[in-house]
Amino acid sequence: MKQIKNLGWRVTMAGLGINLALGILYTWSIFKMTIKDSIVAGDGVFNWSLASLNDPYAVCCLVFAFTMIFAGRVQDRISPRITAVIGGVLTGLGLILISFSTSWISWILGFGILTGMGLGFGYASATPPAIKWFPSAKTGMIAGIVVAGFGLASVYIAPLAIFLIDRFGLSQSMLIFGIAFLVIVSALAQFLVNPPEGYVHPATSQNKKTAADSMVNFSPGEMMRTATFYKLWIIFCIASGAGLMIIGGVAGMAKHGMGQMAWVVVALMAVGNASGRVIAGILSDRIGRANTLFIMLIFQASVIFSLLFITPAQIALLVLAAILIGFNYGTNLSLFPSATKDFFGLKNFGVNYGLVFSAWGVGGFIFPRVSQMIVAYTNSPRMAYILAAGLLLIGAVVALMTKSPVIEKETKPEFIATPVPEET
């Protein structure tokens, strides 16, 4: 039998690089701060209402998530390479579009819809091919490494955005980002490749239980008939929404005490975000996805609740809280793809995770929008923090009740035929 070269680490690093570009989403608080300054100053550049300030971000999250369903099917059926190129082109075009207009509708179409679709295609292409090259015992770790790029992106995009905005303005900065990310993502896409049909990692074949688990494959319809899917969806919606609510506004929180150095908080939160993805992935490989989720949700609720007692002047506490919130939010982005793969299999992983990931979009649409409305009408985020912390505690309880779905379809024993030598 011809030996297959394992390209797992090459694919993993390419996926990491793609996510480093697509993570511009988490720098929204920097862009929003510039838009808000324009609105408050009344300079006529951005004629938006303060209540609609998070709308492009919220729409982007929603479109991103639901695009993942279709993009996941393209990834499963056609190619992760093509899926990633589509993602790079759409992301770039969306950013280029908003560089030519400051109107609310243009930012909804450009950042919200086009870039949101681009993020969906790019993100859907990165994780599935990487974890297919590795055994199940490393699923959490590999998923964590790939998606860490998305969380870590703000470390360089936030200060770069501040620099570009100060020098060229927000519109020209979007043009630069659009062209750069279109080229970078399309180039890295060439390294994404799925293993050959029937490929089994040598470490998997040595473990009978793991090998048997890898044969469990739910179609999207079968997955959606299980209670496990809906439990995962509810937890993901709450956890992602609460995290995105804070991430989307953290630069504004920090600006009161740090001025133009607010990007430091965004960057440090990104470090926490990325490390949370890797650490939670490794931990969940050892103690299980549901147990890790329970721990992280309780921790995240505690940190968000602590924001009620931190003032903008308490810089050290604000920075620590931001890092911990980023860390806890990041854990979701490695735990849920790993749980989806464990519970429902690899064959339809792209579209199955797309359906689970739709919860991220719903949470990302509702929570930031509601929190912005609360702040606009009460001039305080306190009620938003209390609401988020309470829902996270509910999510933790649901996590304890989440188990692997019972396989209802009968499995027939498979017979392994003696291979016939190939003609030379």
Query: pLDDT-derived band of residue 243, with 50, 70 and 90 as boundaries?
Result: confident
| Residue (of 184, 181, 162, 165) closest to 173 by Cα position | 165
Angle between helices 80-98 and 8-22 (to 10 degrees): 10
Residue 182 CA: distances (Å) to CA of 22, 24, 91, 92, 118: 10, 12, 7, 5, 10
CA–CA–CA angle 67, 333, 122 (5° rounding): 35
- What is this structure's pTM? 0.77
Domain count along the chain: 1
CA–CA distance, 350 with 68 (Å, rounded to integer): 8
- Taken in order 138, 139, 140, 142, the sign of the CA dihedral is positive
Query: What phi and psi values does residue 370 have, to the nearest 5 degrees?
Result: -65, -40
Of the segments 36-40, 181-185, 306-310, 350-354, which one has the largest average pLDDT value? 181-185
CA–CA distance, 346 with 230 (Å, rounded to integer): 19
Of the segments 26-30, 189-193, 303-307, which one has the largest average pLDDT value? 189-193
Angle between helices 382-400 and 289-306 (to 10 degrees): 160
Q: Is residue 412 part of a domain?
A: no
CA–CA–CA angle 184, 188, 194 (5° rounding): 155
* Per-residue pLDDT at 13: 93
Residue that the structure tokens 């797309």 belong to: 354
* CATH, residue 113: 1.20.1250.20
Summarised one tens digit per residue, pLDDT across range 338-385 is 899 889 988 888 889 889 989 988 887 788 778 878 877 888 778 888
Q: Is residue 374 part of a domain?
A: yes
**Alpha helices per DSSP H over 78-207:** 80-98, 104-107, 116-132, 139-152, 154-168, 170-188, 202-205
Residue that the structure tokens 């969306």 belong to: 94
Provide the residue range defining the domain that includes 303: 8-195+218-400
Which residues touch 408 (CB under 8 Å, ≥6 apart)? none
| Residue (of 27, 53, 20) closest to 250 by Cα position | 27
> How many other CB atoms are found less than 10 A from the CB of residue 382?
12
* Per-residue pLDDT at 392: 93
Q: Is residue 3 part of a domain?
A: no
Q: Classify each residue of 341-366 as buried b or exposed e, where b means 16 or more C-beta atoms within 10 Å of its C-beta.
A: bbbbbbebbbbbbbbbbbbbbbbbbb
Residue 218 CA: distances (Å) to CA of 193, 195, 215: 23, 20, 10
Does the pLDDT at position 58 exceed 90? no
Q: Is residue 413 part of a domain?
A: no
Does the pLDDT at position 127 exceed 90? no
CB 182 within 8 A of CB 91: yes
Terminal-residue alpha carbon distance, the chain: 13
Summarised one tens digit per residue, pLDDT across range 73-113 is 888 888 899 999 999 999 999 999 999 988 999 999 999 99
CA–CA–CA angle 211, 213, 218 (5° rounding): 130
Query: pLDDT-derived band of residue 199, with 50, 70 and 90 as boundaries?
Result: low
* Per-residue pLDDT at 18: 93
CB 371 within 8 A of CB 57: no
Which residues touch 92 (CB under 8 Å, ≥6 apart)? 118, 178, 179, 181, 182, 183, 185
